[in-house]
Chain A
Amino acid sequence: MGKDIVRYLLCMGCAIILLNSCQGDAEHDGQATAGQQAVDSLPMLILQIQKCARLYTTEVHVHKIVTHDDVIRLRGSLLKKDFNLTVPLGDRKIAIPMNATLKAYIDFSQFSEKNVERNGERITVILPDPKVEMTSSKIDQKNIRQYVAIARAEFSDAEMSSYEQQGRQAIIESIPSLGIIETAQENAARVLVPMLVEMGYKEENITIAFRKEFKTDRLWLKSIEALR
């Protein structure tokens, strides 16, 4: 009886070790397991549909490497003496490459007769201010590089998402320095002039103008507000 119990316990122990090692392998090879055992258990869908009339005139592809240097520092004061020390073996670093597409557009939803001036054979189209929107972004998952010291935990998915969102915001904030608006205005003319020529106007009689002599800074602020 006693031998049976020992044998039973030994068998159970071997089985647990074997299964546990299988689980370890599975975790190591994420792609294979994701393909074989990944189960979709939480489908959810939220949709928002919006009618619009926008003419996209310029597409810009940008690249950014988001970096995060995570060093734990011990700081404070002891007996009125300040100190600021780096905790040994507490470094973590990550670099996340990302690509984004920005598009500049003219919003025609409020376009009316007030935007068109006709004088005989001449036509002047006064367009609203161009705006810029981030239409997509893609994280280069395969080229993410990270270093984690022995005393620290791996970067979690939530932490990486937070850095990616900060990187996205940094791209939006850099839009004013990219000079897209001027290009968007020129390109709007390139789309509209051939259309007006098809309608029977002579090219030399067509003028594409913008709503006002706007201050670039104000325009950018508007565009950024719209993105947020």
Chain B
Amino acid sequence: MAQKYRSAEIAVIALLALVVAVWLYRGLQSSHVELEVNDGIGLTPTQIESIKAIGQWEFLAISDEELIDTVRKGFFRNDQLARIYYGTLRLGIDMRQVGPDWIRLENDTLRVLLPPVGLLDNNFIDEARTKSFFESGKWTAQDREQMYKRAYHRMRQHCLTPANIRTAEDNARENFKKLLRTMGYQNVEVEVRSEK
């Protein structure tokens, strides 16, 4: 009789264990765990610091990319940081620099004397577009600032060439002639003042 009870107990326990095992199996099958990392930026306002009226004619835009790298030599390994900087140098004339009587009507000829062609804005690097190409080791804000300055000087050196300035001057003459002809003046002469 006691053996019969024991067998029944074992059967009940086995059944319960089976039920628990099935429940656990089904539960774990539908379970999932994942690590979530946020890659986006927070919502912050864009604040206007200043608005000003300008009058700048752009006649040549030179888009430049510069790969700047810096290496710090160590005993076991060298640390390296390489970044790609983007910038657009805009060449043209600033209307604040026009002289008195810069447009003169002589008989049937309109004579125009434009101010010298130059770089319209010294801030031409779009640093927020910079791509990080390679990084090893730890680099500071000062290191990045130095790299920005090197990119700035290299872009100026490569883009502010006499040939590009001449191209901008020719384009300025051509476009001013075209503009003034559309306004009814057939004989137009345009000169560009050279930089002192």
Contacts and interface: CB of A to CB of B under 8 A. Distances in A.
Interface string A20-57: 10110011001101110111111111111111111111
A164 B128 contact: yes
Interface residues of B, number: 102
Interface string B6-43: 00000000000000000010011011111111111110
A70 interface: yes
Interface string B37-53: 11111101111111111
Contact of B31 (A72, A78, A118, A164): A78
B189 interface: no
Given A123-B183, A134-B126, A40 B49 contact: no
A31 to B, nearest CB: 4
A64 interface: yes
Interface of A: 16, 19-20, 22-23, 26-27, 30-31, 33-35, 37-80, 87, 98-101, 103, 105, 108, 111-113, 115-116, 118, 123, 125, 134-139, 141-142, 144, 154, 156-158, 160-168, 170-171, 174, 178, 180, 183, 186-187, 190-191, 195-196, 198-200
15 contacts: A34-B70, A46-B64, A46-B65, A57-B55, A58-B52, A60-B50, A68-B38, A72-B37, A76-B32, A108-B179, A135-B124, A135-B126, A158-B135, A164-B130, A191-B95
